[in-house]
C-alpha cells in the first residue's frame, strides 16, 4: 500500500462520521419531507398521495398566511438589526483596553445559554406587571405610567408589542456573528487607518470609506447566514414566551406553524408541505442576497 493510498484512506475515515451525519440527519430527512409534502399522512395510516392538494390548501389557510407574513417581517427587521448590533459591538470592542475582555464575554454569554432557559428568562423580564423592563420604563412616571405619561408596552398581550419582544430577544443571541465580525475588524490592515489619520479624516468618514467597504463581504455572508436561520430563530421565543399569541396568531411563525401542524394535529403531510415552502423561501432569500453581494463586490472591485 503506497503512502498516497494510506493518506486517502485516513482522510476517508476522518470524513466518514461527517458523511454519515450529513446523510442521516440532513439528506434523508429532506428526501422524506419532500415525499410527504405530496401525501396525506397522520402517522396512524399509510401515506396517501394527494399531489398538490397540500400546497393548494396552504394558499387558502389564513393561519399559514399570517405565519408567513410574521416570518417575513421578522426576517426583514431582525436580520439587519442583529448584524448591525453585532457590528457595533465589534467596532466598539476590537481594541485592547481595560474591561474589554469582560465585555466580549458578556456579548457571547446569551448565545451559550440553552434556548429554553433563555426563553424563560425573557418571560420574566417581559412580564408587564413585575418584569424588570417595565419597572425600569416606569421610572419617573406616576400611576404606573412611563415618564412620558404612556402605558408601558404590554409585551405578552398586545400583538405589536409581542412581535417587538421576539425581535428584541433575538438581538442578544449574536455571539457567533460578533466573534466573526470582531476577527474581521482586527484583521483589517493598520496602514489604511494610519493614512486616514494623516489625512485628518473623521470617524464617520473612516467607517464609511474604509471599514464598511473592507468588511462588506463578511457582512454580506453573515446576512445570508442569518436569513437562513431566521425562520427557526423565532421558534423557541414564540413557543415559550408568547405561545404563538396573543390572538390572532400574532407571533405564530412558520416554524411554530409546522411544529403544531405536525406534532399537535398529526398532519404530517401538510406540515411537510409548509416545511418545503419554508425551504424555498430560504433559498430565494439567499439567491437575492448573494446577487446583491456580487453587485457590491463588482462595484468596489473587491
pLDDT tens-digit map of 157-167:
899 999 999 99
Q: What does residue 49 show for φ and ψ, rounded to 5 degrees?
A: -70, 125
Q: How confident is the model at residue 281 (pLDDT cuts 50, 70, 90)?
A: confident
> What pLDDT was estimated at residue 297?
65
Rounded average pLDDT over 118-134? 90
CA dihedral 80, 82, 83, 89 (to 10 degrees): 140
> What pLDDT was estimated at residue 20?
87
- The span from the CA of 299 to the CA of 302, in Å, is 8
Handedness of CA 283, 289, 293, 298 (dihedral sign): positive
> How far is the CA of 18 from the CAs of 154, 246, 263, in angstroms?
46, 42, 29
- The span from the CA of 75 to the CA of 58, in Å, is 21
Give 253 or 7, the one with higher predicted confidence: 253
Taking the complete model, does pTM exceed 0.75, yes or no? yes
> How far is the CA of 159 from the CAs of 29, 162, 249, 278, in angstroms?
34, 5, 8, 23
> How far is the CA of 153 from the CAs of 45, 166, 202, 261, in angstroms?
47, 13, 38, 31
Q: Are 50 and 269 contacting, i.e. CB atoms less than 8 angstroms apart?
A: yes
Fold of the CATH domain 61-300: MetI-like fold (1.10.3720)
What is the share, in percent, of the chain residues with pLDDT greater than 90? Answer: 33
Cell numbers for 78, please give them: 431582525
- The span from the CA of 10 to the CA of 256, in Å, is 43
- The span from the CA of 296 to the CA of 288, in Å, is 12
3-state SS, residue 153: coil
| Residue 76: pLDDT over 80 | yes
Domain boundaries, the chain: 61-300
DSSP 171-219: TT--HHHHHHHHHHHHTS-HHHHHHHHHTT--HHHHIIIIIHHHHHHHH
- Residue 42: DSSP 8-state: -
Each residue's pLDDT tens digit, 148-202: 778 888 998 899 999 999 999 999 999 899 999 999 998 888 888 888 888 777 8
> What pLDDT was estimated at residue 274?
93
Each residue's pLDDT tens digit, 198-237: 877 788 888 888 888 888 888 888 888 888 888 778 888 8
Amino acid at each position: 500500500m503506497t503512502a498516497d493510498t494510506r493518506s486517502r484512506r485516513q482522510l476517508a475515515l476522518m470524513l466518514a462520521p461527517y458523511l454519515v451525519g450529513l446523510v442521516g440527519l440532513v439528506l434523508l430527512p429532506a428526501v422524506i419531507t419532500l415525499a410527504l409534502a405530496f401525501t396525506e399522512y397522520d402517522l396512524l395510516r399509510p401515506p396517501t398521495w394527494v399531489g398538490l392538494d397540500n400546497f393548494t390548501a396552504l394558499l387558502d389557510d389564513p393561519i399559514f398566511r399570517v405565519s408567513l407574513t410574521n416570518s417575513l417581517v421578522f426576517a426583514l427587521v431582525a436580520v439587519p438589526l442583529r448584524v448591525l448590533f453585532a457590528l457595533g459591538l465589534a467596532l466598539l470592542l476590537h481594541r485592547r483596553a481595560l474591561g474589554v475582555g469582560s465585555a466580549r464575554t458578556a456579548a457571547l454569554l446569551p448565545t451559550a445559554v440553552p434556548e429554553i432557559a433563555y426563553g424563560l428568562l425573557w418571560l420574566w423580564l417581559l412580564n408587564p406587571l413585575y418584569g424588570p423592563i417595565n419597572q425600569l420604563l416606569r421610572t419617573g412616571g406616576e400611576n404606573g405610567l412611563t415618564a412620558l405619561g404612556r402605558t408601558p408596552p404590554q409585551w405578552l398581550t398586545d400583538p405589536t408589542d409581542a412581535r417587538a419582544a421576539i425581535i428584541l430577544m433575538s438581538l442578544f443571541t449574536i455571539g457567533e456573528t460578533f466573534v466573526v465580525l470582531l476577527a474581521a475588524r482586527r484583521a483589517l490592515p493598520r496602514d489604511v487607518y494610519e493614512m486616514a489619520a494623516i489625512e485628518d479624516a473623521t470617524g464617520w468618514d473612516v467607517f464609511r470609506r474604509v471599514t464598511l467597504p473592507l468588511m462588506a463581504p463578511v457582512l454580506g455572508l453573515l446576512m445570508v447566514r442569518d436569513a437562513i436561520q431566521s425562520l427557526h430563530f423565532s421558534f423557541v421565543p414564540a413557543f415559550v414566551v408568547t405561545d404563538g399569541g396573543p390572538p390572532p396568531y400574532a407571533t405564530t411563525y412558520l416554524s411554530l406553524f409546522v411544529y403544531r401542524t405536525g406534532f399537535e394535529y398529526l398532519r404530517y403531510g401538510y406540515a411537510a408541505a409548509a416545511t418545503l415552502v419554508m425551504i424555498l423561501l430560504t433559498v430565494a432569500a439567499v439567491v437575492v442576497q448573494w446577487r446583491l453581494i456580487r453587485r457590491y463586490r463588482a462595484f468596489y472591485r473587491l
